[in-house]
Amino acid sequence: MTTTSADELREEVRRRYARSAQAVTGGAVAEDGCGSGSCCGDGASTAVFGEALYEAEQRGELPETAVLASLGCGNPTAVAELREGETVLDLGSGGGIDVILSAKRVGPTGRAYGVDMTDEMLALAQHNATEAGVSNAIFLKGVIEAVPLPAESVDVVISNCVINLSVDKPAVLLELARVLRPGGRLGISDVVAEDDLTAEDRAARGSYVGCIAGALSQREYVDGLEAAGFTDVSVTFTHAVADGMHSAIVKATKPVTARRELPVLSGSRSGCC
């Protein structure tokens, strides 16, 4: 991928998510589907994307705009096993739903960071956190390929349907290893392709901004995380989002002594974010 095309893809995603945030705050639904509970496009059903993936009890804890801005493909806070006092990082935090839920889980002695590149989403997330009465949520502007946090500063990394959008997935996987403390862990929801689907197959099933064309395969995810130094890697499909494409739970652990090298994701096709 050329620098120009990567920049163009990232800007396309930024514009799409900005429109989604504006649709939520304006009480409307964007014409392209953003803000409707989809993964920001492609007409995906709320049965597999968005707010329907959160329990009613969780939704009841949140401001309405946080729920409406949910564009994910899973519920990483339900699988991350967060503990009191931990520091959590959410990659691509959007309207803040997972950061707010994480902040409540880790309690006043813990901290929840959200990183997002879209000003409109960051403003919405901060508003939602304030409305939810959460004081231990911190939102940072940045891209997930270069997280604006020090090395070994968090205990858990979560993410919800965002890594598939990255323009440089090997860099993201290395950032996961960099920011996690030794013994830290991942609890990620993402769209993942079956191993027999080529990059062309994935592109035929949906767009980059619709969280389909840029998805890694199950094997590419496992190989990439292991190359970044993670152990206990698992990628478990949860529900279908397209033919041969699934929402998946991705888990891994950073060992106490980690070896880092550039992941080789053969045959993958980068998305954008």
The confidence score (pLDDT) of residue 235 equals: 97
What is the mean pLDDT of the segment spanning 25-48?
44
pLDDT for res 72: 59
- If residue 129 lies in a helix (H) or strand (E), which one and from where to where? helix 119-131
Instruction: Calculate mean pLDDT across residues 103-125.
Output: 94
Higher pLDDT, 39 or 224: 224
Q: Which residue has the higher pLDDT, 6 or 231?
A: 231
Q: Quote the pLDDT of residue 61.
A: 59
Could you tell me if 100 and 62 are in contact, meaning their C-beta atoms sit under 8 angstroms apart? yes
Answer yes or no: are the C-beta atoms of 189 and 72 closer than 8 Å: yes
For residue 33, how many other CB atoms are within 10 A of its CB?
Answer: 23
Confidence of residue 8 (pLDDT cuts 50, 70, 90): confident
* Edge-to-edge strands, sheet with 154-160: 137-141, 111-116, 87-91, 154-160, 180-193, 245-253, 231-242
236-267 burial, b at 16+ Cβ within 10 Å, e below that, comes to eebeebbeebbbbbbbbbbeeebeeeebebee
Instruction: For the chain, give the mean pLDDT.
Output: 81
Question: Is pLDDT above 60 for 206?
Answer: yes
15 Cβ contact list (under 8 Å, min separation 6): none
Of 20-24, 43-47, 112-116, 267-271, the range with the highest mean pLDDT is 112-116
pLDDT of residue 272: 44
* pLDDT at position 38: 42
At 123-168, the pLDDT tens digits run 999 989 999 999 999 999 999 999 999 999 999 999 999 999 998 9
pLDDT band at 1 (very low <50, low <70, confident <90, very high): low
pLDDT for res 27:
55
Q: Give tens-digit pLDDT for 42-81.
A: 444 433 444 455 554 454 555 454 444 455 566 788 778 8
What pLDDT does 33 receive? 37
Query: Does 3.40.50.150 match the CATH number of domain 3-253?
Result: yes
